[in-house]
Amino acid sequence: GALVYQYPRRTICKSGTSMRMECQAVGFQATSVAWYRQSPQKTFELIALSTVNSAIKYEQNFTQEKFPISHPNLSFSSMTVLNAYLEDRGLYLCGARDRSSGNTLYFGEGSRLIVV
């Protein structure tokens, strides 16, 4: 079955430092990968979306300079939160779209960022 793995599950970092998180789609070909941040106040915020043969598209309020994303192929993606501060806290979710099922977006368990 389609699975999305995220690592690490949880990170505590000091204010001003950075955190890198990884996402891997297993068992299917991901036609696109989306990174979301889930916080209690703002539900799911789409950070960026990358699709086959297209550049990574960042949503308003999110930039490549702050959230650089690397994806050597659409089964693996990594994102870094640079210079993390309190407002960057939340659960970072990777969603991968399964080519064979068209619309279905599968999420990983998320990487929780705690900033102290």
Partner 1 sequence: QQQVRQSPQSLTVWEGETAILNCSYENSAFDYFPWYQQFPGEGPALLISILSVSNKKEDGRFTIFFNKREKKLSLHIADSQPGDSATYFCAARGNNYAQGLTFGLGTRVSVFP
Q: Is the Cβ–Cβ distance between 116 and 13 less than 8 Å?
A: yes
- Nearer of residues 12 and 83 to partner 1, judged by Cβ: 12
Q: Cβ of residue 16: shortest distance to partner 1, in angstroms? A: 27
**Beta pairing, strands 43-51 & 69-73:** unpaired
Binding status of residue 108 toward partner 1 by CB under 8 A: yes
Beta bridge partner(s), residue 115? 13
| Residue 114: closest CA among 19, 5, 7 | 19
Binding status of residue 113 toward partner 1 by CB under 8 A: no
Q: Is the Cβ–Cβ distance between 112 and 13 less than 8 Å?
A: no
| Residue 33: closest CA among 105, 110, 82 | 105
Tell me the per-residue interface mask from 4 to 43 with partner 1, x by CB under 8 A, - otherwise.
x-x------------------------xx-x-x------x
Q: Is the Cβ–Cβ distance between 36 and 93 less than 8 Å?
A: yes
Q: Cβ of residue 93: shortest distance to partner 1, in angstroms? A: 6
Which positions from 81 through 100 interact with partner 1, judged by CB under 8 A? 91, 93, 95, 97
Binding site for partner 1 (CB under 8 A): 4, 6, 31-32, 34, 36, 43-44, 46, 49, 51, 54, 57, 59, 91, 93, 95, 97, 103-110
